[in-house]
Amino acid sequence: MLKQILIFCFLFGMTHFAQAQHLQLVENRGEIGLFGGQSSYRGDIAPDLLKFKNNFGAYYKKQFNDYGGFRLNYEQIQIGTNDTLSENIYAKNRGFFFSRNFHDISLMSEFYFTRFLPGNKTYRFTPYLGIGVGYLLEAKTSNIGIDSLSTLLRPLKIDSVVFPSLGARKGIIHFPIQIGFKFNLSRRWNVFGEAMYRFTLSDELDFFPDGQMLEQRQKNEAASQFMIGGSFDEERIGAGSFINRYQGSRSGKDQFFSVKAGVSYNLIKIYGPAKGKPGSKRSKLSSLKDKQSNQNKPGFFSRLKFKRK
């Protein structure tokens, strides 16, 4: 009799454990998200100033386990700054500014620092780290149409500017590093905030590459426009003298970073009876069927045969 009671307790415990595991089987396959924020450039123009401009985008993430996955990002980015707002005297006297728009596509691997399970209150928050590679494709600037290096001082001090020569404008490869945090609001929805720093392979984000000379020219109106016995040479007579010469810094490649916040939707799959919503017709019918089937089945003790002596 004692042996039969022990067997019953073992079978009951195993059945309860298997049922609990079945009800908790939720697979997190990934997520899609939307975000918005601001970005700032670091380079040769106004190097001491952080000028923020708006950016926004979306992403799709493929989750491989509770800790890691791959993420495909799209982001529309604006960058630009102005020498006249700088505290650097050299930059303020130069008086140049630029503005550019980019489409940014990047592929990143993303790692959670702690376990993250949607719908589980114990594992609903995690910081994360992302690294990858990206591609910047230039987009035409809207509104005022500034998509090159310009000066604010030309109408007052100078007549012309000899800008540095640049290569053909193509896409720019960059390597982003991202850190952020995520909080699960419900089984399907999250909120997050993150900061991304991009190391580019170009020094022409601001149209001012290292080592090249930028010249501001002012003509001498008192000089004669024609010379007897030869062609006019404004360099020789001083009619086209340079009033300022500026050279790009030796700081290396241009960089920029962005901060953003957004919401994401979890792409999860639920296995077993838990996939029906509580209170739905499907879950009620399935529970009734399970109840009836359990009532029709013979009990455990009824299957045991005791011989009377």
* Predicted confidence (pLDDT) per residue in 126-135, tens digit: 999 999 999 9
Find the DSSP H helices in 141-248.
234-237
pLDDT at 134: 96
Reading the block at residue 302, the tokens are: 């009824």
pLDDT at 219: 63
pLDDT at 243: 67
The architecture in CATH of the region 26-149+169-206+253-271 reads: Beta Barrel (2.40)
Count of C-beta atoms within a 10 Å radius of residue 281: 9
pLDDT at 302: 52
Tens digit of each residue's pLDDT (9 = 90 or more) over 91-134:
887 778 888 899 999 999 999 999 998 888 889 999 999 999 99
| Whole-number Å distance between alpha carbons of 79 and 40 | 6
pLDDT at 235: 47
Q: Contact 297/47 with Cβ under 8 angstroms? A: no
Beta strands across the sheet bearing 160-162: 160-162, 213-219, 240-247
| Whole-number Å distance between alpha carbons of 110 and 99 | 31
pLDDT at 21: 43
| Whole-number Å distance between alpha carbons of 185 and 125 | 9
Q: Show contacts of 236-241: CB within 8 Å, 24+ apart.
A: 241/217
State how far the alpha carbon of 98 is from the alpha carbons of 180, 213, 242, in Å: 30, 17, 22
| Whole-number Å distance between alpha carbons of 53 and 81 | 9
Residues of the chain where predicted confidence (pLDDT) is lower than 50: 12-24, 142-146, 154-156, 223-238, 274-283, 285, 300-301, 306-309
| Whole-number Å distance between alpha carbons of 108 and 62 | 11
pLDDT at 5: 53
